[in-house]
Amino acid sequence: MHELSIALSLVEMAEEQTRKQGGSQVFSVHLKLGLLSGVVKDALLFAFEAASVGTLVEGATLMIEELPVVVFCPNCQQEQTPCELFQFFCPVCATPTPEIRSGKELTLVGLEIA
């Protein structure tokens, strides 16, 4: 299961950060998740809970901020959000937009620790 290995590494990173800062427990973990990351949010939440058992992260809330897909349209010369996921065309002028500026993120952005 893809999400479980991601959850395990998130827990590992969170534990490492917490130890570095001298904390003993994690209250919440903040994550940015792009809609193109291939990660299913609910599956990740479930996997996170399972992965955190017996660690400093056990009982912490995983806060996921989902990021929309942003592409760059070479015709309009600006960033656009496609109407549909995985359809990389400009919603304004229908030019193909191969340049993805945002949407693949899977980033640990912050922790609340005690």
User: What residues numbered 91-110 form the site for Zn ion, per CB under 5 A?
Assistant: 92-93, 95
- Looking up tokens 């973990």, which residue turns up? 29
CB of 96 to Zn ion, least distance (A): 10
112 by Cβ neighbours in 10 Å (0-12 / 13-18 / 19+) ranks as middle
Give the DSSP H/E element, type plus range, for residue 18. helix 2-20
- Per-residue binding letters, 5-44, with Zn ion (x by CB under 5 A): ----------------------------------------
Contact between 71 and Zn ion (CB under 5 A)?
no
Residue 87 contacts Zn ion per CB under 5 A: no
Q: What's the CA gap between 55 and 101, in Å, rounded?
A: 35
Tokens of 10: 């998130």
Is 81 near Zn ion (CB under 5 A)? Answer: no
Q: Decide if residue 78 touches Zn ion (CB under 5 A).
A: no
